[in-house]
């Protein structure tokens, strides 16, 4: 098979890099995900290159060509070469000498087959030369055609090398697989599930968030739940129906799938769930806060409460408001009007959030002293202003100020 119609392989920065590395006794190929996605017609992300040249030779050639070479993973044979602002990871071919988990001892080599055989899944072990020829040493092309995610070699042995491959198996199946997961791979994942507890929380978070928006995530998570794997990851019972409906709601609203929002649908009912997930998955503060806000407000969302929804949008802002609305919609009774929910999701586009029109000076001139009393008066007036549905006329604002001043504590 060839990639003759792929322009990025034969022109631009990548072509310049391959021209430098693929000559004078050394060979270089594009490997992994970019080859897989090109064959599937999927978007291309990062482009990785493998080479027979050792890291010091890669660095020498890159610098001689005027490229920037950064030793980002030199102990593993990886040099990042930057050309016109575009980074490419260039890794020397490797062979496993001993395998003991992620600490496998490797040596640099020149055998493309052995390098392919140490990768995780057959569809990730494809490589392409700069003339477009695709090389397959492990049956990846057949598996790609069948949309089958399959471990290279013995699945039990591959998982024992790195238990994160359990999550990667399901993540790649959700993204690229069709039908039921490969039986041998699934059985090995179930057998090795205790190994998930040995993984760093950061690595688990990365794989789980990549799985969340995948096209076949709903069916894949169902399989993981049946196998007892998703509870081990989340530390709680998955809400699969809410998760499935979240994807439907996003599509109906013409919104791109959002990993954190999907995680909220899958695993968050109350704020304590957000705290648990934050610790268990080592989420960023922003991610945990998003989940906490969703948990705190989704029950208050109703497409039939216009005034209350404007108040909620004012307090949360457009993004957090959309999260809460979509989570509530994903858990709404079946048969509720989709049109009303869609109108609520679109509220930030149709209603401009007003700015609170009163200032400290409005209260100071009426005798409220600076300090806690002034802050309390402003807060009380803002609450009343929200409750009155954001009036802007002078008489209404004057009444709000007068009421807040009357309640303000005085010496």
Q: Which pLDDT does position 11 carry in this prediction? A: 85
How far, in Å, CA of 279 to CA of 190, rounded? 24
- The helix-helix angle for 259-267 and 240-252 (nearest 10°) equals 140
Closest by alpha carbon to 155, among 136, 142, 169, 171? Answer: 169
Find the mean pLDDT for residues 28-43.
Answer: 93
pLDDT of the residue at 278: 96
Q: What is the mean pLDDT of residues 251-279?
A: 97
Portion of the chain with pLDDT greater than 70, in percent: 96
Contacts of 344 (CB under 8 A, 6+ apart): 301, 303, 309, 325, 329
Q: Under CATH, which number does the domain 1-146 receive?
A: 3.30.460.10
Provide the CB-side half-sphere exposure for 361 (13 A, CA).
Answer: 1
Segment 288-313 mean pLDDT: 97
| The model's pTM | 0.89
Predicted pLDDT of residue 76? 87
Is residue 102 scored above 70 in pLDDT? no
Express each pLDDT in 116-136 by its tens digit. Answer: 999 999 999 999 999 999 999
Q: Residue 170 has what pLDDT?
A: 98
The CATH homologous superfamily for domain 148-234 is cca-adding enzyme, domain 2 (1.10.3090.10)
Looking at residue 409, what is its pLDDT?
A: 72
Q: What are phi and psi of 96, to 5 degrees?
A: -75, 130
Whole-number pLDDT of residue 411 = 58
The answer, yes or no, to whether residue 50 has pLDDT greater than 90, is yes
Instruction: Say yes or no to pLDDT of 99 above 90.
Output: no
Q: What is the mean pLDDT of residues 311-319?
A: 97
pLDDT at 103 over 70: no
CB half-sphere exposure, 153, CA atoms < 13 A: 14
| Cα–Cα distance for residue pair 411/403, rounded to 1 Å | 18
Query: Residue 393 carries which DSSP code?
Result: S
User: By mean pLDDT, which of 40-49, 104-113, 349-358 is the weakest?
Assistant: 104-113
- Would you state the pLDDT for residue 56? 95
DSSP type of residue 1: -
Asked if residue 318 has pLDDT above 90, the reply is yes
Average pLDDT value for residue range 159-165: 96
What whole-number percentage of the chain has pLDDT above 90?
A: 87
For the chain, first and last CA: distance in Å?
86
Q: Count other C-beta atoms under 10 Å from residue 44's C-beta.
A: 14
pLDDT band at 315 (very low <50, low <70, confident <90, very high): very high
**For 79, left (φ over 0), alpha (ψ -120 to 50), or beta?**
beta
Residue 144, phi then psi, degrees to nearest 5:
-65, -40
For 410, residues 6+ apart whose C-beta sits below 8 A from its C-beta are: 367, 369, 373
Per the prediction, the chain carries an average pLDDT of 93
pLDDT band at 337 (very low <50, low <70, confident <90, very high): confident
What pLDDT was estimated at residue 10?
82
**Are the CB atoms for 368 and 374 separated by under 8 Å?**
yes
Residue 299 CA to residue 305 CA, distance in Å, equals 13
Confidence of residue 61 (pLDDT cuts 50, 70, 90): very high
Does pLDDT of 5 surpass 90? no
Tokens at 230, concatenated: 């998703």
Q: What is the CA radius of gyration of the chain?
A: 28
**Which of 376, 398, 377 shows the shortest CA–CA distance to 388?**
398
As given in the structure block, the two tokens for residue 187 are 């059985």
Under 8 Å between Cβ of 125 and 152: yes
């Amino acid at each position: 098979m060839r990639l003759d119609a792929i322009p990025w392989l034969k022109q631009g920065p990548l072509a310049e890099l391959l021209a430098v590395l693929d000559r004078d006794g050394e060979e270089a190929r594009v490997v992994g995900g970019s080859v897989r996605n090109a064959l599937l017609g999927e978007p291309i992300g990062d482009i990785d290159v493998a080479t027979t040249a050792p890291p010091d030779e890669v660095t020498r050639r890159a610098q001689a060509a005027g490229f920037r070479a950064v030793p980002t993973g030199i102990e593993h044979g990886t040099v990042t070469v930057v050309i016109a602002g575009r980074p490419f990871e260039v890794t020397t071919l490797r062979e496993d000498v001993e395998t003991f988990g992620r600490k496998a001892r490797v040596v640099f080599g020149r055998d493309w087959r052995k390098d392919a055989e140490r990768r995780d899944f057959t569809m990730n072990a494809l490589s392409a030369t700069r003339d477009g020829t695709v090389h397959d040493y492990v049956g990846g092309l057949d598996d790609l055609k069948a949309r089958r995610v399959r471990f290279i070699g013995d699945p039990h042995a591959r998982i024992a090398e790195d238990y994160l491959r359990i999550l990667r198996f399901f993540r790649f199946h959700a993204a690229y697989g069709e039908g039921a997961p490969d039986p041998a791979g699934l059985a090995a994942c179930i057998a090795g599930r205790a190994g998930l507890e040995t993984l760093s929380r950061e690595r688990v978070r990365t794989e789980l968030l990549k799985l969340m928006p995948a096209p076949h995530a709903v069916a894949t998570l169902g399989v993981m739940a049946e196998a007892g794997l998703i509870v081990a990851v989340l530390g709680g019972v998955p809400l699969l129906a809410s998760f499935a409906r979240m994807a439907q709601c996003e599509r109906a609203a013409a919104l791109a799938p959002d990993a954190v929002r999907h995680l909220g649908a899958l695993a968050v009912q109350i704020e304590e769930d957000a705290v648990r997930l934050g610790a268990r998955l080592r989420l960023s503060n922003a991610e945990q806060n998003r989940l906490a806000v969703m948990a705190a407000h989704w029950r208050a969302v109703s497409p039939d409460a216009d005034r209350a929804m404007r108040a909620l949008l004012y307090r949360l802002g457009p993004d957090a408001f959309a999260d809460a609305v979509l989570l509530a919609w994903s858990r709404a009774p079946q048969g509720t009007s989709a049109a009303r929910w869609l109108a609520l999701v679109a509220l930030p586009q149709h209603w401009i959030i007003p700015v609170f029109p009163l200032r400290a000076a409005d209260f100071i001139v009426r005798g409220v002293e600076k300090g806690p009393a002034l802050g309390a008066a402003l807060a009380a007036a803002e609450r009343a202003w929200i409750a009155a549905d954001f009036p802007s006329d002078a008489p209404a604002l004057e009444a709000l100020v007068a009421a807040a001043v009357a309640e303000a504590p005085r010496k």
